[in-house]
Chains A and B, each alone.
Chain A
Amino acid sequence: MEEPRIGVYVCNCGTNIAKVVDCDAVAEFAAKLPGVVVARSYKYMCSNPGQEMIVQDIEEQSLERVVVAACSPRMHEQTFRRALETAGLNPYLFEMANIREQCSWVHDDGAIATEKAQALVHAAVNRVARHEPLERMSVDMCPNTLVIGGGIAGMTAALELADAGKRVYLVEKQDHLGGNIARVDLTAPYLDSARDILTYLVTRVLEHDNIEVMTESRVERLDGFVGNFKATLGSLANAADGNAAVDVGSVIVCTGYKEFDAARITHYGYGKLPNVITSFELERMLRQGRIETKEGRPPQFVAIVHCVGSRSEEYHSYCSRVCCMTALKYAHEVKSALPKSYVSDVYVDMHAFGKGCEDFYRQSSEVKTLFLMYGRGEHPVIRKADPGDECGMLIEVNELLSGETVEIPADLVILMVGMEPREDVDDVAHLVSISTDKDGWFIESHPKLDPVATTTDGIFIAGACQAPKDIPDTVAQARAAAARILARIARGKLVVDAVYAEVDEDRCSGCRVCNELCPYVAIEYDETKRRSHIISALCKACGACVAACPSGAIKARHFTDEQIFAEIEGVLE
């Protein structure tokens, strides 16, 4: 085999890599490897000059393979593949060595990190020499979209797509649209009515010709791949209705959240003390226009307890993000409904991050909300007051701003229950094959570069199913997901990754071991040829069949045995 001409580029990533790894030494080392004709170290390979350097070298030095040692391939593999295409080289003749996330950022010793970086570059050079040019497939993009969840995220996304003239199937588990926002009275910080927002959205969705709303329904199955999914929808109300199958090109998951179960925290006495209620129970009172205790009296002392289930070691470590402003909203609503009442706001930290929120916090102190701060990891303890007391309950807490242990009088205690993933989050994750993080929220493709896509192409997420968020952020995500899909529909065709498995029919013995292994039913057995065959469009390149084939007849394109062996040799040399 004639050795291909390889170019190696070592990125300094400003100082991110260079402050630990001696990039020049790595480039010098690479220059001596077989086949390497150019090896350079440069400040930022992903910058325009960096990419132009590669393009120029390919043209001037007739490079046939390129290795970039930089960040994770999950970050910039596509960037450099495009650079290769610009220079007229097949994008698969490229390999990245991850010397940032898996080297300079995790090791302190410069000499050892440099040695590791050299080993990783060696592996990449070995591997890239065995790369083959691969052609990407072009598939049709079905312009229909399946939206799972009829809350504010789902309805917004559906309208955005439908207004662009595309068909949307909106599947909702409950018998009505609206999700959690249907349980809310006013919204923070501008105190707009949630009902107004909801009525507008629901009316438009129901009247829209391009949206098919299916309430009391669920997605039973999702088959296919990006641009060409087939969704099986079933009715929850009437099993006799049977399942319906629809063709969609993309899916947006907008399954939202559920509230934390306050009864899990025994100190609060939720469920035992009748006038300890959750935020959603107060919303119900507010919507009915009457704030009162279980005894039917207007409360004189109202206490709001923050971070119920959130930001704690025992329950959820994350911040639920909306409770602080919602608590302030309650302070306003209680004060305006009962001007003679006293509102205590028992908080840990006040998170007023959003637009208009800091002003709202300020206004709340102007209406004489008493803010009482307690420490993270501590719990206020709620108990019944003594007979002679003016109030019904007392909340004992170690108040930080005064340094005193205090008792807060309360007739009504509102627990600001946090958000948590819905019970069926794992089922949904399986259904559309996306992942959840340690807390159960769906994982986005990249938190900053690709926040509404997932690791499964064609599946998008929006709203609180991704992480707790407020209405503006939810709406922004929903529209962003819709925009991503519309851009693809506008292109009409989709280019899918050329990485898939194929069977060498000459070596296949027809044992059919692989047939059962494939989770996507992409392997067909040809009775006449008595050979197995892979439908490349359905294959998602996991490689399970490749490893299992007793004859070694299945090749995982771009992950061949030969390539991986070369990589193993590289890291160990």
Chain B
Amino acid sequence: MTFEPKIVGFLCNWCSYTGADLAGTSRIKYRPNVRVIRVMCSARIDPTFVIKALAEGADGVLICGCHPGDCHYTEGNYKTMRRYPLLKRLLADYGIDDERVRLEWVSASEGKRFADIVDDMTERLCELGPSLVKSALATDAVER
């Protein structure tokens, strides 16, 4: 069986989730690997959400918010923008490949863009292969 990566998507309610809905109403087909969790704003995405998803077996995490300057809450996405590099540094320290966690801006009118991002990320994760975070944690627990 070919490897089908699991992606957890955290989408802000106002832009990106609406954009993903628009992909649906426009019947734009994309890879079925993403599972979306809706949050009110990308600024709500606690780094622990990302780590939790990876620990639970996600091969990738996609964070989507409104384009900079377009936030429904004025500047929530700027907070995400600043929080994200810190998270990436942390993940790098854990040895988690840089491409497994992505931050993208998707507006409410960008259904196509959302579909393209999902397809592209799925493609990249297929090349990277399965994430070892979950199994490593399990081994770690057994050894302890």
Q: Say whether B20 faces chain A, with CB atoms less than 8 Å apart.
A: yes
Whole-angstrom distance between the Cβ of B117 and the nearest chain A Cβ? 13
Assess whether B79 is in contact with A544, with CB atoms less than 8 Å apart.
yes
Neighbouring B residues of A571 by C-beta, 8 Å: 6, 8, 35, 37
Chosen A-B contacts, 6 in total, with CB atoms closer than 8 Å, are: A74-B21, A101-B21, A113-B32, A438-B109, A542-B44, A546-B46
Of residues 16 through 57 on chain B, the ones whose CB sits less than 8 Å from some CB of chain A are: 17-18, 20-21, 23-25, 27-30, 32, 35-41, 43-49, 52-53, 56-57
Q: Given contacts A564-B37, A564-B49, A572-B53, is CB(A433)–CB(B72) below 8 Å? A: yes
From the candidates A102, A541, A543, A568, name the one contacting B24 in the complex (CB within 8 A): A102
Neighbouring A residues of B66 by C-beta, 8 Å: 435
Neighbouring A residues of B32 by C-beta, 8 Å: 103, 106-107, 109, 112-113, 116
Q: Given contacts A106-B23, A437-B108, is CB(A572)–CB(B79) below 8 Å? A: no
Per-residue contact bits, chain A 511-540, to B (CB 8 Å; 1 contact, 0 not): 000000101100000000000000000001
**Contact surface of A with B, Cβ cutoff 8 Å:** 72-74, 98, 100-103, 105-109, 112-113, 116, 119-120, 123, 426, 429-430, 433, 435-438, 443, 455-456, 499, 517, 519-520, 540-544, 546-548, 556, 559, 561, 564-565, 567-569, 571-572
The 8 A-B pairs of least Cβ separation, nearest first, read: A543-B44, A101-B24, A544-B43, A571-B35, A542-B41, A542-B73, A105-B24, A101-B21
Interface size class of B (residues with CB under 8 A): 35 or more
**Contact surface of B with A, Cβ cutoff 8 Å:** 6, 8, 14-15, 17-18, 20-21, 23-25, 27-30, 32, 35-41, 43-49, 52-53, 56-58, 66, 69-70, 72-76, 79, 83, 107-110, 115
Q: How many Å lie between the Cα of A548 and that of B83 in the bound state?
A: 9
Neighbouring B residues of A113 by C-beta, 8 Å: 32
Q: Given contacts A435-B66, A543-B41, is CB(A561)–CB(B46) below 8 Å? A: yes
Whole-angstrom distance between the Cβ of A388 and the nearest chain B Cβ? 52
Assess whether B46 is in contact with A435, with CB atoms less than 8 Å apart.
no
Q: How many Å lie between the Cα of A564 and that of B44 in the bound state?
A: 11
Q: Given contacts A542-B43, A572-B53, is CB(A73)–CB(B37) below 8 Å? A: no
Q: How many Å lie between the Cα of A568 and that of B50 in the bound state?
A: 9
Assess whether A106 is in contact with B46, with CB atoms less than 8 Å apart.
no
Assess whether B36 is in contact with A98, with CB atoms less than 8 Å apart.
yes
Whole-angstrom distance between the Cβ of A524 and the nearest chain B Cβ? 18
Assess whether A572 is in contact with B73, with CB atoms less than 8 Å apart.
no
Q: Given contacts A74-B17, A572-B58, is CB(A519)–CB(B73) below 8 Å? A: yes
Whole-angstrom distance between the Cβ of B9 and the nearest chain A Cβ? 9
Closest A residue to B83 by beta carbon equals A547
Assess whether A572 is in contact with B56, with CB atoms less than 8 Å apart.
yes
Assess whether A102 is in contact with B36, with CB atoms less than 8 Å apart.
yes
Q: How many Å lie between the Cα of A98 and that of B38 in the bound state?
A: 10
Whole-angstrom distance between the Cβ of A227 and the nearest chain B Cβ? 19
Q: How many Å lie between the Cα of A107 and that of B41 in the bound state?
A: 26
Assess whether A443 is in contact with B29, with CB atoms less than 8 Å apart.
no
Q: Given contacts A443-B108, A564-B49, is CB(A435)–CB(B70) below 8 Å? A: yes
Whole-angstrom distance between the Cβ of A570 and the nearest chain B Cβ? 9
Neighbouring B residues of A548 by C-beta, 8 Å: 79
Q: Given contacts A101-B24, A544-B79, A547-B46, is CB(A435)–CB(B52) below 8 Å? A: no
Q: How many Å lie between the Cα of A568 and that of B108 in the bound state?
A: 24
Whole-angstrom distance between the Cβ of B107 and the nearest chain A Cβ? 7
Q: How many Å lie between the Cα of A123 and that of B37 in the bound state?
A: 9
Assess whether B79 is in contact with A517, with CB atoms less than 8 Å apart.
yes
In addition to A542-B44, A547-B79, 19 A-B residue pairs with Cβ atoms within 8 Å of each other are A101-B21, A106-B32, A113-B32, A437-B109, A438-B110, A443-B109, A455-B14, A519-B75, A519-B76, A542-B43, A546-B44, A547-B43, A548-B79, A559-B39, A559-B40, A561-B46, A568-B8, A569-B56, A572-B6
Q: How many Å lie between the Cα of A260 and that of B112 in the bound state?
A: 27
Q: How many Å lie between the Cα of A96 and that of B84 in the bound state?
A: 29
Assess whether A435 is in contact with B108, with CB atoms less than 8 Å apart.
yes
Closest B residue to A426 by beta carbon equals B69
Closest A residue to B7 by beta carbon equals A571
Neighbouring A residues of B14 by C-beta, 8 Å: 435, 455
Residue with the highest number of chain B CB atoms closer than 10 Å, among A100, A101, A436, A455: A101
Q: Given contacts A105-B24, A572-B53, is CB(A561)–CB(B29) below 8 Å? A: no
Assess whether A567 is in contact with B37, with CB atoms less than 8 Å apart.
yes
Q: How many Å lie between the Cα of A102 and that of B118 in the bound state?
A: 12
Whole-angstrom distance between the Cβ of B4 and the nearest chain A Cβ? 8
Whole-angstrom distance between the Cβ of A106 and the nearest chain B Cβ? 5
Neighbouring B residues of A540 by C-beta, 8 Å: 73
Assess whether A435 is in contact with B72, with CB atoms less than 8 Å apart.
yes
Whole-angstrom distance between the Cβ of A274 and the nearest chain B Cβ? 40
Neighbouring B residues of A101 by C-beta, 8 Å: 20-21, 23-25
Closest B residue to A543 by beta carbon equals B44
Neighbouring A residues of B58 by C-beta, 8 Å: 568, 572
Q: How many Å lie between the Cα of A565 and that of B56 in the bound state?
A: 10
Q: How many Å lie between the Cα of A73 and that of B20 in the bound state?
A: 12
Closest A residue to B56 by beta carbon equals A572
Neighbouring B residues of A436 by C-beta, 8 Å: 70
Q: How many Å lie between the Cα of A456 and that of B14 in the bound state?
A: 10
Q: How many Å lie between the Cα of A429 and that of B71 in the bound state?
A: 10
Neighbouring A residues of B30 by C-beta, 8 Å: 106-107
Q: How many Å lie between the Cα of A316 and that of B128 in the bound state?
A: 40
Assess whether B21 is in contact with A544, with CB atoms less than 8 Å apart.
no
Neighbouring B residues of A426 by C-beta, 8 Å: 69
Assess whether B8 is in contact with A541, with CB atoms less than 8 Å apart.
no
Assess whether B79 is in contact with A433, with CB atoms less than 8 Å apart.
no
Neighbouring A residues of B43 by C-beta, 8 Å: 542-544, 547
Q: How many Å lie between the Cα of A113 and that of B4 in the bound state?
A: 13
Assess whether B53 is in contact with A547, with CB atoms less than 8 Å apart.
no
Assess whether A572 is in contact with B35, with CB atoms less than 8 Å apart.
yes
Assess whether B74 is in contact with A430, with CB atoms less than 8 Å apart.
yes
Q: How many Å lie between the Cα of A431 and that of B36 in the bound state?
A: 30
From the candidates A106, A116, A456, name the one contacting B27 in the complex (CB within 8 A): A106
